[in-house]
Amino acid sequence: MDATEQFLKEITDAAGVPGYEGPVRSALRRALSGLAADIEEDGLGSLIARLPGTSERPRIMLAGHMDEVGFMVRYITEGGFIRFMPLGGWWDQVLLAQQVVIKTHKGDVVGQIGAKPPHLLKEEERNKVVEKDAMYIDVGATSRQEVEEIGVRVGDPIIPRSEFTILGNGRTYLAKAWDDRVGCALIVEVFRALAGQPHPNTIYGVGTVQEEVGLRGARTSAFAVAPDVGIVLEVGLTGDLPDMKPEECAVRLGAGPVLLAYDGAMIPNLRLRDLVMDVARELGIPLQIDVMQRGATDGGPIHVNARGVPSVVLGVPARHIHSHQGIISRDDYDATARLVVELVLRLDARQVAELAP
């Protein structure tokens, strides 16, 4: 593994569901130490790293959320099974038979998601999707007391059990939590590229918390940073899957970064959007344009901070997000990092002033 792959493994293997982002924050802090001039946290736990340039302003906020979709223990039955609730959006069909890790005060507890066996279902029940509320986590126990003795308590966070893997072609990676550890990793890439060269602004790399449950960390961290420009680093949904039509989603793995023309919480600043397109064209970086009609990003609270912040969302295409594991392309990741670096280098005071509507 090269340095990028090693960090992608470290940060995707880390556990960090909404409200429990500590291990991810520690990994991000280690990676940014020695690059950033200073690193602090806001009151919710979002990490804010500052990289000074030749001017204190404009302030460019690069935001990637540290949390991943996961679960929380909500009840332990007398028979020793664990009922759970989702933290973030989950599609019921991807859950059954998957392994999970419960993070307890006594250490990790591994379990499997299960439901009533199909052999015992009525014929009409077999044709229905099993809903989360009918599922449980089996940790191999036979009583509530046994579950409590191994450390499981109501409120404990639960993460998918999945490990970073380099796939057969050597250029695609399988891991959990690309949404949005890929954005956190891009912050590190940009800091590495710009730490040793002048840039006409001050960069704030922000790992936000609790995005998957309401874009919460972006709101408090934007208040702390008071940015002049917001660049949200995210994943992009892909449509290069069997039985999907291009009009549903035309984004493809390996075809370059994604620029969102719309998400459920933000329409980008049009001049900043056009600048991204111009920079990509100038550099010969293929750029995919997409809209996200459902769901939202940290751009929502960032772009309405104070008097308003010109903002845009850039993403790395990722297959199978909000499941136990997804797939990204290294080529897309590298191209996105390069695009962000070159964009930041152009965001001087004059350019930012021209972003005004």
The per-residue pLDDT for range 287-309, each reduced to its tens digit, is 999 999 888 999 999 999 999 99
Which of these is catalytic: 10, 21, 211, 212?
Answer: 211
Whether 320 contacts 327, CB under 8 Å: yes
Phi-psi region of 22 (alpha: psi -120 to 50; beta: other; left: phi over 0): alpha
pLDDT tens for each residue of the chain, 357 residues long: 899 999 999 999 999 999 999 999 999 999 999 999 999 999 999 999 999 999 999 999 999 999 999 999 999 999 999 999 999 999 999 999 999 999 999 999 999 999 988 777 777 777 788 899 999 999 999 999 999 999 999 999 999 999 999 999 999 999 999 999 999 999 999 999 999 899 999 999 999 999 999 999 999 999 999 999 999 999 999 999 998 888 889 899 999 999 999 999 999 999 999 999 999 999 999 999 999 988 899 999 999 999 999 999 999 999 999 999 999 999 999 999 999 999 999 999 999 999 998
Tens of pLDDT, residue by residue over 176-186, are 999 999 999 99
- Domains along the sequence of the chain with CATH: 3-68+176-353 (3.40.630.10), 70-160 (2.40.30.40)
Helix (H, G, I), strand (E, B) or coil at 264: coil
Active site residue 21: no
Cis peptide leading into residue 156 (ω within 30°): no
Give 16's DSSP letter: -
Tokens of 149: 């003795």
Query: Apex CA 207: angle with CA 167 and CA 320, to 5°?
Result: 35
SS3 state at 309: coil
> What token pair was written down for 225?
């940073």
Element (H, E) at 26: helix 22-32
What's the rounded Cα separation, in Å, for the pair 223 and 114? 43
Q: CA–CA separation, 23 vs 13, rounded Å?
A: 10
